[in-house]
Structure 1
Amino acid sequence: MARVRFIGPETVTVPELGERVVEPDQVVEVPDERFEGYVCQTQTWEPVEEPKDSNDPAPLPVRKTAAKPQKEG
């Protein structure tokens, strides 16, 4: 989920978020696919955390190598 900050001057009810009441300067989570619909309203919302790119591969786990035996001598 993406996150946006409400920068409007007074409390609003957001039907898309289940009739959630949002206060000025409050950060809320919005569905990734709706992020652009909020941040294009630059007088009302500002981006906080953009959606994760679904085309980016998941990070690979760190591979640990086995310890090499010590050479004698």
Structure 2
Amino acid sequence: MGDAPLAVLLHLVGAEVATTMKVAADDVTGVVIPECGRFPVEEAPRELPAALRPFIAPYRDRGRSASGSVGP
């Protein structure tokens, strides 16, 4: 890995975070945002919401009432 481009190394390190979290959690989905480091809100403001949407959707949809408004 010493000759690998930085982007490849960052992707591998990012993927390892999900692997590590699987030790502590039952349902883990890893997402690596290319060229994003420790501050995704600042570094990938468009990509972050797209990456979070599948995770948030079941909770968002469960809170909607028949009228379309968000419930408690």
If the TM-score is normalised by the length of the shorter chain, which range does it land in? under 0.3
- Tell which structure's C-alpha radius of gyration is larger: 1
Bigger relative contact order, structure 1 or 2, given CA contacts below 8 A and separation 6+?
Answer: 1
Q: TM-score, normalised by structure 2?
A: 0.23
